[in-house]
Amino acid sequence: MDDIQVAGQRQPKVANHGYLRTPKFIDRMATEIDFKTLTAHAKENGFIYQSSEIYDGLAAAYDYGPNGVLLKNNLKEYWWRSMVQLHDNIVGIDASIFMHPKTWKASGHVDAFNDPLIDNKDSKKRFRADVLIEDHMDKIEGKINKEVAKGLKRFGDDFDEAEFRATNPNVQRYVQQYDEIAKRLATAMTDGNMAELKQIIEDLGIADPDTGSKNWTDVRQFNLMFSTQLGNIAGEEGKLYLRPETAQGIFVNFTNVQKTTRQKLPFGIAQIGKAFRNEIVARQFIFRMREFEQMEMQFFIQPGTQQEWYEQWKEARMKWHLALHPQSKLRFHDHDNLAHYADAAVDIQFEFPFGFKELEGIHSRTDFDLGAHQELSGKKMQYFDPETKESYVPYVVETSIGADRLFLATLTHALMDEQVPGQDDPNNTRTVLKLHPAIAPVKAAIMPLKRNDDRLVNMAKDIFNDLRFRFEVQYDDTGSIGKLYRRQDAVGTPFCITVDFDSIEDGTVTVRDRDTLEQVRVKKEELAGMIGPRVGMGTLLRSAQ
Ligand code: ATP
């Protein structure tokens, strides 16, 4: 969920320095695919389509296709099982999207869920003032990284990055510029000072990125909640909001869940569900959408223990990400300014093709939400501690991640062009989606060597009809084997099973590994036992512990 500032702003995100791509990362044999190619790949391979495309699409709304929904469901399952199944003290709920409008008054969203809006008078385009400034800061960070990369090239193995950063005059100058802007931005956002945001934009000479125009309007507040109207009540009374976060459904159900599950503190409530935000600028594909899905867990604790739990959840969540993605792609980013009720907040950032950006937020939110609901509803939102014999409003540490951003992070990291393993010719390349087998949409594809031979087709279909009861499989005989392999590589299928003429004789089939391209002969009765454990969620869940 979001940090709602006293003065009505979302938290500014200010990147910290000190990150350098490791040479290993830069020199990878496989080439990471650029963003445009990635979005095209996602569409062509049935992962993501633009919403209502036949009407030229609706901005910032996307539909998940047949492979997309499988992958997204697997990611959600990975989150859900690691939260709910593997914790005795975390339970799940599924709250409704519509909530009593007072919910959003208490949570602060009605008054303060705002972004600073600025229009360009010439291009008539709208921007988030803070994002324009952050983009400018990203450019400065880019310059710092360029200097560091130059240093690395110059000094090779003797390169001491920390020393270089501390002494190089160019880096020092950029860092100073960056820090000054970061400080001004953070203060302006915390104070809700729209005039100062405009001043920063003017001082930095920031122009409309598309047209270069610097003809800006004043900056003003823009509430991000979508509203709709109840059918049977006219006017303000009947005004409802589409929830901008799932968390409030958890807070208002705190006492229901605690009483019905008899959980003792500390315990958590987890939920996956849709959230809606009227984002001013929605771009970067599924990174920023107006309708998206969140996976949130609110962990209720005794006041005074928040620091300890905050640290534990930070570590647990990073481990969870590291089971899927390499360390070089992930980093923590502490919030520079804290909202008045939060006593700690950090983002887990992922290196998307457009830079390090928030993937998940971990916030220590004190008793702000439960306290506010208690006050406005007049209903007790307390916990009776059987040990101390005291009642109190619990504190909360929350973890909040967007399922769509996780999807994008996963695609970004997994999709690559690489030289075909085992081949000398560097021009012999393939596009492959190296997803962890546990989250791959299809676990195995079964294909007959020839589609016009009934014996091969029947045997392949028998195998398919057996394996489909165990995990997601696909039968395909619509092309040559080489073509079918490439098609499965493109959607990340970890195993291809080919039925050939030997199969009819001896009951064995070829199993091809997506990553190594190694092929082994396996008895058809052994397929489930061989593939099942490698594509199941168990290994992934264990590696996140
Ligand atoms: P940002 O600063 O990027 O707008 P936020 O701080 O507003 O994010 P939170 O309110 O903390 O985000 O939401 C928790 C998570 O929900 C985010 O880490 C992100 O993964 C996801 N999320 C938030 N807004 C969007 C959106 N418009 N589209 C897709 N995912 C989103």
Q: Which residue's alpha carbon is at the smallest distance from atom 26 of ligand 1? A: 288
* Ligand 1 pocket check for 484: Cβ under 6 Å: no
Going along the chain from its start, the domains and CATH numbers come out as 30-103+224-414 (3.30.930.10), 126-221 (no CATH), 435-544 (3.40.50.800)
**Cβ–Cβ under 8 Å, residues 440 and 425:** no
228: β partners: 240
- The pTM for the full model equals 0.87
Q: What is the per-residue pLDDT for 381?
A: 97
The CA distance from 451 to 286, in Å, is 39
Q: What is the per-residue pLDDT for 463?
A: 98
Flag residues of the chain having pLDDT under 70.
1-32, 337, 340-341
* Ligand 1 pocket check for 2: Cβ under 6 Å: yes
The CA distance from 160 to 20, in Å, is 11
Atom of ligand 1 lying closest to residue 347 CA: 18
Count Cα neighbours of 463 within 13 Å in the Cβ-side half-sphere. 34
* Ligand 1 pocket check for 107: Cβ under 6 Å: no
Burial class (CB in 10 A: 0-12, 13-18, 19+), 426: exposed
The CA distance from 382 to 265, in Å, is 11
* Ligand 1 pocket check for 362: Cβ under 6 Å: no
| φ, ψ for residue 266, nearest 5 deg | -80, 140
Cα(144) to ligand 1 centroid in Å equals: 27
String of DSSP letters for 67-95: HHHHHHHHHHHHHHIIIIIT-TTEEE---
Cα(428) to ligand 1 centroid in Å equals: 40
End-to-end CA distance of the chain: 24
Cα Rg, the chain, nearest whole Å = 26
Q: Which residue's alpha carbon is at the smallest distance from atom 7 of ligand 1? A: 2
How do strand 444-448 and strand 495-499 relate by DSSP bridges? Answer: parallel
Q: What is the per-residue pLDDT for 157?
A: 85
Q: State the DSSP H helix or E strand holding residue 271, giving kind and residue range, or none if neither.
A: strand 267-276
Task: Give the CA distances from residue 159 to residues 2, 20, 162, 460, in Å, rounded to whole numbers and listed in that order.
Answer: 40, 12, 9, 56
Burial class (CB in 10 A: 0-12, 13-18, 19+), 10: buried
Cα(402) to ligand 1 centroid in Å equals: 6
Within a 10 A sphere around the Cβ of 377, how many other Cβ atoms? 14
Ligand 1 pocket mutation, candidates 1, 2, 107, 333, criterion most atoms within 8 A of CB:
2
Longest C-alpha distance within the chain, in Å? 80
Ligand 1 pocket mutation, candidates 13, 298, 358, criterion most atoms within 8 A of CB:
358
Residue with tokens 């208490």: 106
* Ligand 1 pocket check for 293: Cβ under 6 Å: no
What contacts 496, CB < 8 A, 6 or more positions away? 444, 445, 447, 484, 485, 488, 511, 512, 514
What contacts 135, CB < 8 A, 6 or more positions away? 209
Residue with tokens 């399922």: 403
Q: In what order do the strands lie in the sheet with 473-475?
A: 473-475, 444-448, 495-499, 508-513, 519-523
Q: Which residue's alpha carbon is at the smallest distance from atom 18 of ligand 1? A: 360
Q: What is the per-residue pLDDT for 423?
A: 80
**Cβ–Cβ under 8 Å, residues 17 and 165:** yes
The DSSP secondary-structure symbol of 417 reads E
The CA distance from 294 to 76, in Å, is 10
* Ligand 1 pocket check for 359: Cβ under 6 Å: yes
String of DSSP letters for 213-266: ---B---EEEE---EEE-TTS-SGGGEEEB-S-SHHHHHTTHHHHHHHHTPPSS
* Ligand 1 pocket check for 408: Cβ under 6 Å: no
Cα(45) to ligand 1 centroid in Å equals: 26
The CA distance from 478 to 447, in Å, is 9
Q: State the DSSP H helix or E strand holding residue 44, giving kind and residue range, or none if neither.
A: helix 35-44
Within a 10 A sphere around the Cβ of 142, how many other Cβ atoms? 12
Q: Is the dihedral of CA 39, 41, 47, 51 positive or negative?
A: positive
Atom of ligand 1 lying closest to residue 405 CA: 20
**Cβ–Cβ under 8 Å, residues 115 and 10:** yes
Q: What is the per-residue pLDDT for 476?
A: 96
Angle subtended at Cα 378 by Cα 397 and Cα 105, rounded to the nearest 5 degrees: 65
The CA distance from 99 to 83, in Å, is 25
Atom of ligand 1 lying closest to residue 406 CA: 20
The DSSP secondary-structure symbol of 280 reads S
Task: Give the CA distances from residue 139 to residues 55, 133, 143, 206, 214, in Å, rounded to whole numbers and listed in that order.
Answer: 36, 10, 6, 12, 18
* Ligand 1 pocket check for 109: Cβ under 6 Å: no
The CA distance from 25 to 428, in Å, is 22
Residue 46, token pair as written in the block:
């049935």
Cα(457) to ligand 1 centroid in Å equals: 48
Cα(149) to ligand 1 centroid in Å equals: 31
The DSSP secondary-structure symbol of 340 reads T
* Ligand 1 pocket check for 1: Cβ under 6 Å: yes
Q: What is the per-residue pLDDT for 399?
A: 98
What contacts 472, CB < 8 A, 6 or more positions away? 70, 441, 442, 443
Angle subtended at Cα 487 by Cα 481 and Cα 488, rounded to the nearest 5 degrees: 90
Residue 215, token pair as written in the block:
């003809």
Within a 10 A sphere around the Cβ of 126, how many other Cβ atoms? 13
Cα(436) to ligand 1 centroid in Å equals: 24
**Cβ–Cβ under 8 Å, residues 439 and 71:** yes
Amino acid letter, 93: I
3-state per-residue secondary structure call for 348-406: EEEEECCEEEEEEEEEECCCHHHHHHHHHHCCCCCEEECCCCEEECCEEEEEEEEHHHH
* Ligand 1 pocket check for 367: Cβ under 6 Å: no
471 closest CA partner among 442, 430, 514: 442
Q: Which residue's alpha carbon is at the smallest distance from atom 4 of ligand 1? A: 288
Cα(225) to ligand 1 centroid in Å equals: 14
